[in-house]
Amino acid sequence: MSEQNKALLKRWFEEVWNQGSNEAIDELLDDEVVIHGLAGPDGKDVQGSGAFREFHRQFRGAFPDISITVEDVIAEGDRVVARCSVRGNHTGESLGIAASNSPIEFGGIAIVKIRDGKFVEAWNNFDFLTMNRQLGI
């Protein structure tokens, strides 16, 4: 189970973030997912696959060349942890910020709870403060 869950999380970062695959979102994300550490327009945790799709659309709109490298993966039971490096260029007008054309590079950790091959809850701790500083915010 742990090896399968590791493969799912690696697939998530490769297909959803690096390739922008909406099909992978549908396959991997539970409709009622709760994602802590990513905020919706109301400033609260992203709740539901539809809210995640909107977050994803806006973030990839701001950073269309985003590249996430999974550096380490650890799994136990129904939980998987990934330590990641994020790189990209702020070339899009999304997220309410004019494109700065600035490069970004920061790290983060995601913990995901998996049930029946789908992500049902996640806890994200990515260094968005560093990202914002790199954007001049």
Query: What pLDDT shows up at residue 1?
Result: 72
pLDDT category at 40 given cuts 50, 70, 90 is confident
Reported pTM: 0.92
**Residue 43 CA neighbour count, 13 Å, CB half:** 0
Domains of the chain as residue ranges with CATH:
2-134 (3.10.450.50)
Q: What is the DSSP letter of 41?
A: T
pLDDT category at 42 given cuts 50, 70, 90 is confident
Interval 69-102: pLDDT, tens:
999 999 999 999 999 999 999 999 877 788 999 9
List Cβ neighbours of 127 (8 Å cut-off, separation of 6 or more).
106, 107, 108
